[in-house]
Amino acid sequence: MSLDEYEDRWVWYCNGCDLKAEFSRDDDFYACVHELKARGWRITRGQAGDWVHRCARCCRREQGNVSALRKA
> With contact defined as beta carbons under 8 Å apart, do 51 and 2 qualify?
yes
Domain limits, the chain: 3-71
Give the bridge partners for 4, in sequence order.
11
Local confidence band at 1 (pLDDT 50, 70, 90 cut-offs): low
Local confidence band at 66 (pLDDT 50, 70, 90 cut-offs): low
HSE-up of residue 63 (Cα within 13 Å, Cβ side): 10
Local confidence band at 3 (pLDDT 50, 70, 90 cut-offs): very high
Predicted confidence at residue 58, as pLDDT, reads 94
pLDDT tens for each residue of 14-62:
999 989 999 999 999 999 999 999 999 999 998 888 999 999 999 998 8
> Residue 45: CB partners within 8 Å, gap ≥ 6?
51, 52
Can you give the pTM of this predicted structure? 0.78
